[in-house]
Amino acid sequence: MTNKHQIIKEALRLGFDDIGFTSAEIFDSQLKILKKRREHYAWTGEAGFDLEKGTDPLSCLAGAKSIIVLLANYFTGSFPHPLVGRFGRCYQDDDRMTKDGLSRKLKGFRGFLTEQGIESAVPMNLPHRLAAARAGLGDFGKNCLFYAKRVARQSSWIIPLAIVVNHEFPPDEPSPKIGCPDWCRNACLAACPTGALTGPLEIDPRRCISYLTYFGAGLTPLPLREPMGMWVYGCDRCQEVCPRNTPWLNQDLPVNVKVQAKAPAFDLTSLLRMDQEYFEKKIWPHMFYIAPADRWRWQMNAARALGNSRDERYLEDLATALKNAEHVNVRAMAAWAIGAIGGEKAADLLTQALAGSAEPVRAEIETALTKLHRLR
């Protein structure tokens, strides 16, 4: 049976940035939070995540005795400018479907454990960030994200991966605290466009842009559309304004070639116009939280972002979507987006589309026209 030193050596050899160990005790504090905020997290059941069950490692692996936590820095290369501010960085190089990066490393690590006679599981509903703090790998920011202690210049541009094992290892010293400097005046809380961050270490996930872009139900609520800005899938806003992340952001990094190669496929007008084949071949393998049957979510998000661009060049694309898009929510959002861009041409396009439109598209057109006429 291998020892802790050998486990650490193998993790670093495979390219992980850091590694820590903790016990397989129940995450009592997390369970209390989830029970207290069940209304906030009711949607997770529909999404296939039983978060309360995940607080008990024994529910994830029979005979669980320890948790090994690996840290991986996903921001080792600069991301293409057209994708920054539109797609969360952690999703731009997500390989859980293509399995050509981090997934390969994780598979290699678990294979090493198997060779040593150790069973393992990587449950997605286990609180990975809290496990990382309990393993002494870092602490939390007020934005609820995890910050590394020894790697990535102590930033939050890291992914903690918690692996439950049936072998007992000596635990590391835990560090479950907020590590934000005293002089920071809640920059992340103030910068959250939709008010999802309600206090230090408190979040209403239903208002988070990431949730809204891929898990939100139906047409995006009107009051949140403009605050969501240009974000199409995920959000990095609270990380970008965080002073703890400044050292990592302010450095010259080589271009992430893999992301750069697929960037053209994520052009906003292409997303708005895409058919099912385009989606399944070029988009879904890389950003998969939106299921193939829900391609309309991508198109709706693209329409909203185009509207928030305030760029008149996109009016014709949006007008085409308003007329021809398959899903009613895409047509409705296209109407809103045309109104958001505004101007005489926008008013003409909406007026032309009004007569042949039914609810809820008609209501969106009428609301947009009312606003445009008021601005004249």
DSSP string, 49-108: --HHHHT-GGGTSTT--EEEEEEEES-SSBPPTTTTTTB-HHHHT--TTT-SSHHHHHHH
Which of 321, 347, 346, 324 shows the shortest CA–CA distance to 334? Answer: 321
Report the relative pairing of strands 146-148 and 158-165 from DSSP bridges.
Answer: unpaired
Give residue 121's pLDDT band: very low, low, confident or very high (50, 70, 90): very high
pLDDT tens digits along 39-56: 999 888 877 789 999 999
Mean per-residue pLDDT, 191-218: 95
Q: Which amino acid is at 218?
A: G
Please tell me the predicted confidence (pLDDT) of residue 1. Answer: 62
pTM of the predicted model as reported, rounded to 2 decimal places: 0.94
Please tell me the predicted confidence (pLDDT) of residue 375. Answer: 61
The residue assigned the tokens 């609180």 is 127
Q: Is the Cα dihedral 313, 319, 324, 325 positive or negative?
A: positive
pLDDT tens digits along 127-151: 999 999 999 999 999 999 999 999 9
Poorest-pLDDT segment among 36-50, 86-100, 240-254, 262-276 = 36-50
Residue 200 has pLDDT above 80, yes or no: yes
Please tell me the predicted confidence (pLDDT) of residue 99. Answer: 93
Poorest-pLDDT segment among 32-46, 94-108, 178-192 = 32-46
What mean pLDDT, rounded, does the chain reach?
A: 96
Rounded percentage of the chain residues whose pLDDT exceeds 70 = 99
Please tell me the predicted confidence (pLDDT) of residue 251. Answer: 95
Give residue 376's pLDDT band: very low, low, confident or very high (50, 70, 90): low
Please tell me the predicted confidence (pLDDT) of residue 330. Answer: 98
pLDDT tens digits along 289-298: 999 999 999 9
29-33, 273-277, 353-357 — most confident range? 273-277
Residue 176 has pLDDT above 90, yes or no: no
Give residue 188's pLDDT band: very low, low, confident or very high (50, 70, 90): very high
117: left (phi over 0), alpha (psi -120 to 50) or beta: left
Provide the angle, in degrees to the nearest 10, between the axes of the packed helices 328-341 and 315-324. 150
Measured between alpha carbons, how far is 261 from 238 in angstroms, rounded to an integer?
Answer: 27
Please tell me the predicted confidence (pLDDT) of residue 170. Answer: 97
